[in-house]
């Protein structure tokens, strides 16, 4: 298989395949600071043996589940022996946009608004947009600003919020069936290059969500094992 190295990411490397699709190589690096894992961080904090495969296994499971439910993603297939996932090409919004769905006030949300809300208070699927911009700390961006900068129209914002809530509620219900509570989750979307349809991209794993069981935070490998029963 002929492929060309495209981009070295924090947790995945990206390669272009000769047929126009892309190969994502999942790595054991995880986000965080000072050796502590944090799914909301925008720097690599540590290496966690098995984290790449755990992220890939959970991503494959959730993407296949969503596809079966009629929700479009960029997923084509996965190779668990090589920790890789083949995906369709997609055009990101601007230089990259993250959509966060929050069910409880934790992480950066609580750090920003701790004067107004108690930590852990329910947020009922509140949606936030952030730009992927490590230099500026992935800043929050409003829907009006997204439109003013030509990144998303107001209609696309509404569609993206509806799709995010639908996806996140599915993930939340699956986790709840395992006795796990989803506190927050970060998703990425793009436009399918063939028909410009909005599709889910990147991953859904313990690396981009906070989930708790019996009041205890589940690290990425623990979450994968509980969800997939191994």
User: Looking at residue 46, what is its pLDDT?
Assistant: 67
User: Looking at residue 49, what is its pLDDT?
Assistant: 82
CATH of the domain at 56: 3.30.200.20
User: Looking at residue 36, what is its pLDDT?
Assistant: 66
pTM of the model as a whole:
0.92
Over residues 14-23, mean pLDDT: 96
pLDDT over 80 (residue 84) = yes
Q: Encode pLDDT of 108-117 as tens digits.
A: 999 999 999 9
CATH of the domain at 118: 3.30.470.20
User: Looking at residue 195, what is its pLDDT?
Assistant: 81
pLDDT over 90 (residue 200) = yes
Picking from 58, 89, 120, the residue at the C-terminal end of a domain is 89
- CA pair distance 103, 35, nearest whole angstrom: 26
Q: Encode pLDDT of 26-82 as tens digits.
A: 998 877 666 666 776 666 666 878 899 999 999 999 999 999 999 999 999 999 999
Helices (H), 26-176: 51-68, 107-113, 143-148, 154-176
Report the phi/psi class of residue 206: left, alpha or beta, with left for phi > 0 and alpha for psi in -120 to 50. alpha
Picking from 66, 89, 112, the residue at the C-terminal end of a domain is 89
């Amino acid at each position: 298989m002929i492929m060309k190295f495209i981009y070295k990411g924090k947790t995945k490397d990206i390669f272009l395949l000769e047929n126009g699709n892309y190969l994502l190589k999942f790595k054991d690096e995880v986000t965080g600071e000072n050796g502590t894992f944090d799914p909301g961080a925008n720097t690599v904090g540590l290496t966690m043996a098995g984290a790449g495969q755990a992220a890939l296994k959970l991503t494959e499971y959730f993407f296949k589940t969503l596809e079966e439910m009629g929700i479009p993603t960029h997923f084509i297939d996965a190779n668990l022996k090589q920790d890789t996932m083949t995906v369709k090409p997609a055009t990101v919004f601007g230089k990259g946009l993250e959509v966060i769905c929050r069910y409880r006030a934790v992480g950066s949300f609580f750090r920003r608004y701790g004067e107004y809300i108690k930590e852990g208070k329910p947020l009922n699927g509140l949606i936030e947009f952030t730009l992927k911009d490590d230099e500026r700390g992935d800043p929050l961006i409003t829907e009006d600003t997204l439109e003013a900068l030509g990144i998303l129209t107001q209609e696309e914002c509404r569609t993206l919020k509806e799709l995010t809530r639908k996806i996140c509620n599915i993930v939340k219900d699956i986790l709840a069936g395992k006795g796990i509570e989803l506190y927050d989750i970060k998703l990425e979307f793009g436009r399918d290059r063939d028909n410009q349809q909005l599709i889910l991209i990147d991953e859904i794993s313990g690396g981009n969500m906070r989930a708790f069981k019996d009041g205890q935070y589940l690290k990425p490998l623990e979450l994968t094992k509980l969800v997939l029963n191994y």
